[in-house]
Amino acid sequence: MKIVYIISKIDKSIEFENTAIGLKKAGFDMIFISLFPNPPSQLKGFLEEHEIPCYELKYTSKYQYFGILYRIYKLLKKIKPDIVHCHLIDATVIGLRAAKYAGIEKRIYTRHHSSFHHQSAPHGVKYDKWSNRTACKVIAVSKKVKEILIKLEGVPAEKIEVVNHGIWVNDFVAVKPTKIGPVNNKYKLGNHFPVIGSVSRYDEWKGVQYTIMAFKLLLEEFPNAKLILANSGKGNYVETIVAHLKELPEDSYVEIPFENDVMALYKCIDLLVHVPVDDHSEAFGLVYIEPMAAHVPIVATRSGIGNEILEHLKNSYVVDYRSPAEIAAGVAFLINNPDKAKEMTADAFEMVNQNFGFHMKLDALSNIYKSL
């Protein structure tokens, strides 16, 4: 079975790397079409190393829509795939239309965003609804996304399949010290405790501003603490986040636009904070399950998959939305009660290992493709 993945704006992605390799091993003929602003992407290099074809088209603006649409249409007519599976907004809107024009009936898209268009960009709702109609199957990455598709966009429940993201859990456990040391040194973390991590874009709904406010409170009790802000510098709330950071001592935080070795980065932090501002803005949130796999305790709000998996004082310290005081209290509790934190991380690891192994995602995708 020949499957074309159409994706947009992805440079490096462990998720897509694992998916491509896993489905190839399962017997599928995998081909990628990538829309990327500055080719070649790291993903293209990875795929080609593993003998998976990747056609990368330079895509920098929506004004290229028709030109890119035609090029994808021509590629699909040449490839003649059995299934086209689109990911992310630009690739979905262009890719589904190109597949329809090319006469490909088995068209799927994965809904990676949640309520973003309904909350922040209402003009995008019409594209979501068009994609829902044009696809023969919509994959939701969590039950919360399925709920939004049904309640807000009128998608029939039988058209939706929930396929959670997954991780190879052992990758987050068996991290070699030779990889941890360089990352630790790069960000000058050795003399700081606790090292508190945040892995979030600077979007308002991600709640990074509340993490920074909480960190300011924590410096009173832990003056040698350090805040790591990974995936920093991009998003719709950059100016506000930067203003909050100016209230912190310069040597108390570090911004990391992108770190290739995220597994090693998790091993360099003592605790992770992830606090989206409501229960629905996060679609899934790998940042919930990755630190759990790495045995890193988390302070979090329930959003996306967090609604399904977070249990207060069992596998996480759950706090209310938009509450710096509760975040600070949760961090202090975990730091001051290391035995309890260790017990919680053990429960969290077991939950992730049982429910989010990458083989489960591969099995689910395989079953969907074979059923079409």
pLDDT in tens, 283-299: 999 999 999 999 999 99
pLDDT (0 to 100) of residue 156:
98
Residue 258 near residue 231, CB atoms below 8 Å? yes
194 with 285, same domain: the answer is: yes
Both 64 and 7 in one domain: the answer is yes
Q: Under a CB-based contact definition with an 8 Å cutoff, are residues 109 and 139 in contact? A: yes
Q: Are residues 154 and 251 in the same domain?
A: no
Query: Under a CB-based contact definition with an 8 Å cutoff, are residues 349 and 343 in contact?
Result: no
pLDDT of residue 166: 97
Residue 26 and residue 56 in one domain: yes
Position 190 scores a pLDDT of 87
For residue range 302-344, list pLDDT tens digits in order: 999 999 999 999 999 999 999 999 999 999 999 999 999 999 9
As a whole number of angstroms, the distance between CA 69 and CA 77 comes to 12
Contact 295, 222 (CB under 8 A): no
Q: Which residue is listed with tokens 């249409």?
A: 73
Domain count, the chain: 2
Provide the token pair at 44: 């293209």
pLDDT digits (tens, 9 = 90+) for 357-367: 999 999 999 99
Q: What is the model's pLDDT at position 120?
A: 86
Backbone angles phi, psi at 44, to 5 degrees: -60, -45
Are residues 22 and 165 in contact, defined by beta-carbon separation less than 8 angstroms? no
Q: Which residues pair with 161 in a beta bridge?
A: 139
DSSP letter (8 states) at residue 167 = B
Burial class (CB in 10 A: 0-12, 13-18, 19+), 247: exposed
Opening angle at CA 321, ends 316 and 322, nearest 5: 120
0.75 exceeded by the pTM?
yes
- Structural domain for 278, as ranges: 169-355
Same domain for 244 and 339? yes
| 191-223 pLDDT per residue, tens | 999 999 999 999 999 999 999 999 999 999 999
State pLDDT tens for residues 338-348. Answer: 999 999 999 99
Which residues in the chain come in under a pLDDT of 70?
none
Residues 160 and 194 in one domain: no
Same domain, 367 and 311: no
Q: Report the CATH number that the domain containing residue 302 is assigned in CATH.
A: 3.40.50.2000
Return the closest-CA partner of residue 204 out of 301, 299, 116: 116
Q: 136 and 94 share a domain?
A: yes
Q: Quick one: 274 and 320 in the same domain? A: yes
162 and 181 housed in the same domain: no
181: exposed, middle or buried (Cβ count in 10 Å: 0-12, 13-18, 19+): middle
Residue 265 and residue 338 in one domain: yes
Q: In the chain, where does DSSP find H-type helix?
A: 14-25, 42-49, 65-79, 89-101, 116-120, 125-134, 143-151, 169-173, 177-186, 208-221, 238-245, 262-266, 286-293, 306-309, 324-336, 338-355, 358-371
Tell me what pLDDT residue 277 has.
97
Between the alpha carbon of residue 134 and those of residues 83, 278, 293, the distances in Å are 14, 30, 37
Shared-domain flag, residues 119 and 182:
no
b/e sequence 295-322, b meaning 16+ C-beta within 10 Å: bbbbbbbbbbbbbebbeeeebbbbbeeb
State the Cα–Cα distance between residues 45 and 47, nearest whole angstrom: 6
CA distances from residue 125 to 162, 240, 258, 356 in whole angstroms, order as listed: 20, 26, 30, 30
pLDDT value of position 53: 98
What's the mean per-residue pLDDT of the chain? 97
